[in-house]
């Protein structure tokens, strides 16, 4: 791999004028993705799902660990479609 590039595009104009990325780049967008990029891309919607990112260089490309992967889904993280509005853990309290 060549030079490491993490690219932040702030605003719609920056996204529209961006010429593209390499497959091993990471692009962070401050607005919703308006097109598909040829690299790992994080827009506000995806970052809400993943939470914070830990990024390190791996043997082949990037190793990306998300806060959700480490902490798991929490009852208060209901933005995810897999989590019902009334989380089952709330109904299964064991009061022995």
> Is this model's pTM higher than 0.75 or not?
no
DSSP 8-state assignment for residue 73: -
| Cα distances (angstroms) measured from residue 50 to each of 9, 62, 67 | 19, 16, 6
Sign of CA dihedral 60, 7, 47, 55: positive
Per-residue pLDDT of the chain (96 residues; tens, 9 = 90+): 567 789 999 999 999 999 999 988 899 999 999 999 999 899 999 988 888 888 887 887 778 888 877 777 666 665 555 444 443 433 333 333
Extract the tokens encoding 93.
């309290």
Measured over all CA atoms, what is the biggest interatomic distance in the chain, rounded to whole angstroms?
61
CA distance 41 to 28: 6
């Amino acid at each position: 791999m060549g030079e490491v590039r993490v690219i932040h595009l702030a605003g719609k104009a920056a996204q529209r004028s961006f010429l593209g990325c390499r497959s091993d780049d990471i692009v962070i967008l401050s607005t919703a993705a308006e097109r598909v990029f040829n690299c790992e891309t994080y827009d506000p919607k995806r970052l809400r799902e993943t939470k914070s990112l830990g990024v390190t260089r791996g043997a082949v490309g990037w190793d990306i660990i998300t806060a959700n992967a480490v902490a798991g889904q929490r009852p208060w993280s209901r933005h995810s479609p897999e989590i019902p509005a009334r989380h089952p853990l709330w109904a299964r309290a064991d009061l022995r």
